[in-house]
A and B are shown apart, each in its own frame.
Chain A
Amino acid sequence: MPGELFVVKKNVPPQVLENITQKYGLDRPKLEQYFIYLGNVVRGDLGISMKYTNKSVNTIISKAFPVSVDLGLRALFIALSMGIILGIIAALNKNKPLDDITLFISVIGVAVPGFVLGTLSQYLLCYKLTGFLSRVTGSSFRLFPVSGWKGFSYTLVPSAVLAFGAMAIIIRMMRSSLLDVLELNYIVNAKVKGLSSREIITKHGIKNALFPIVSVLGPLSVSILLGSFAIEKIFSIPGLGHYLVTSVQEKDYTMVIGLSLFTSLIVILVNTITDILYSIMDPRVQLK
């Protein structure tokens, strides 16, 4: 197998080699090694990084995961709020120029990969616009810093870019869902009752149009989580994706497996939670 552990002689101190061999039972049969590893995982021990000295995979996850969650939640918030607002605007202006503009935005968001938008907006907003503003005002103030994760201004561009793809999907769902709801009988009833169209839309329309959005929250959170791998690389944000990518490049096996396992676990957890949430919110849906 290419790149198998310890095939390359890298001057590993004999003591280290012996410790690792003992910990993972590398002198035993392969199947037994596998169960030793699984046993460790069940006990919550994902092993020790082979690159970073004296750091366990757990320590790195506990440091990187909050950063990824922070970035992801900001993106989710932007995607939800902007997506719902733009979706409502599109539905209320059906087949008018405003509708076409939001359609254009959502096509870009669905079709253009996040890392493309990320790189382009880093160049345009962080290098060009920020550089231009600093030059004009003559101060050292940076509107959008190029990279890092040290404060509010650092979070703006990455989370907006990360939000864009999810926002595009929410716009389209919100638009079609609101248009569907406004056709239903109880809306007609509300109209007959004499409610103003503004009251109908805010009190009945939007509230009921939101359900389909909840049903895609799981897949959207997952796509945001995966998209963050590229965004974290572009903007040098020390999150999970950043560590996963570097550990693959450096063949840091315990890290690669540990981080993949953790990410998959999070994905399954998020999907389960949103499914349960959906059945609580919409009583018509029953979990079997």
Chain B
Amino acid sequence: MFVSRAVKAIVQNRIAVTALLFLGLVFIVSLIYPLLSEYNYYAHNLDNVFLPPFSGKHVFGTDNFGRDLFVRVCEGAKISLKIGLAAALIQTLIGIIYGCLSGVYGGIIDEIMMRIADMFHSIPSLIIVILLTTFMGRSEMTIIIALSITDWTGMAKIMRGQTLLLREMEFVQSAKVLGVGNLRIITKHIIPNSMGAILVNVMLSIPAAIFAEAFLSFLGLGIEIPKASWGTLANEGFVYASSYPWLVIIPLSFIAVIMICFYVIGDTIKDALGG
């Protein structure tokens, strides 16, 4: 029900449809780019360094090692989207479980669980992520883990609120009287009735996670070479910004446009579901 309402809201909004189409295009091209280009993202070619965009077969030009920037942007899209989606989904999952348990059990358990969530919430997650990646290394996996275990508090709070609200509703009360266990109440009643809030939260978490990853990589604390997310590409290109601006402008434009797309879609869904 919530999903169909969200889809309908997007279809009816011209800007949201454009944003969705663009996201789809980036996603598909990032998967099939080996068919479109003969280059790969790691091979150096020192005869062709710093070629400007549209020179020969290099649509976006080449970087300081002569690597094709179009291919590197595609590879970066894959990494950025993967980290964004994975982190957002894991965060949401942790948040749902944590919030439901806290809300259903209530009392002293609720109190303790929420104070722990407050602790995570009061320290900026980027600081925790920086600390974690310092000690755990900086692979894709560790960044996903670091982002997921820091940013789940928002979802947990929303889910707890939903649980407290739904717990008092008559259909949940009567299920309880019939002897239905807590676990079944959570999965059969609370989660299905909170799908709207969950959907809105996922849509807002994805760009937040993409932003966090790009921010870290841009600072040089993210994905390590030769792999490159958009943030890493911008960080590498930043050094040459004065002479070869496209090396930094192209990856940054992708970050900016993708963020706007997610923002527009998230906003449309939020308006439609009243989240």
Contact = CB atoms under 8 A, between A and B. Distances in A.
Given A245-B221, A249-B221, A226 B134 contact: no
Contacts of A245: 219-221
A2 B122 contact: no
A111 B260 CA distance: 5
B252 A116 contact: yes
Nearest to A2: B137
B131 interface: yes
B135 A248 contact: no
Counting chain B residues whose Cβ lies within 8 A of the other chain, the interface size class is 35 or more
A68 to B, nearest CB: 14
Interface string A228-254: 011001100000000011001101010
Interface stretch (B52-60, B172-180, B241-249): B241-249
Contacts, number: 96
Contacts of B123: 264, 267-268
B256 interface: yes
Interface string B260-275: 1011100000000000
A206 interface: no
Interface SS of chain B: helix, strand, loop or mixed? helix
B238 interface: yes
A119 interface: yes
A226 B126 contact: yes
Interface stretch (A6-14, A38-46, A195-203, A255-263): A255-263
A244 to B, nearest CB: 7
B137 A263 contact: no
Of the listed residues B127, B131, B219, B248, the one surrounded by the most CB atoms of chain A closer than 10 A to its CB is B219
B137 to A, nearest CB: 5
A271 B122 contact: yes
Contacts of B69: none
A79 B242 CA distance: 28
B218 interface: yes
A107 interface: yes
Nearest to A227: B215
Of the listed residues B260, B262, B264, the one surrounded by the most CB atoms of chain A closer than 10 A to its CB is B260
A1 B260 CA distance: 39
Interface stretch (A21-29, A70-78, A120-128, A208-216): A120-128
A-B complex: 4 closest residue pairs judged by Cβ atoms: A111-B263, A111-B260, A264-B123, A112-B256
25 contacts: A1-B135, A3-B134, A111-B263, A112-B256, A113-B211, A113-B255, A113-B259, A115-B215, A116-B256, A120-B249, A122-B241, A123-B245, A146-B242, A226-B127, A229-B215, A230-B219, A233-B219, A245-B221, A249-B221, A253-B134, A260-B130, A263-B127, A264-B122, A267-B123, A271-B122
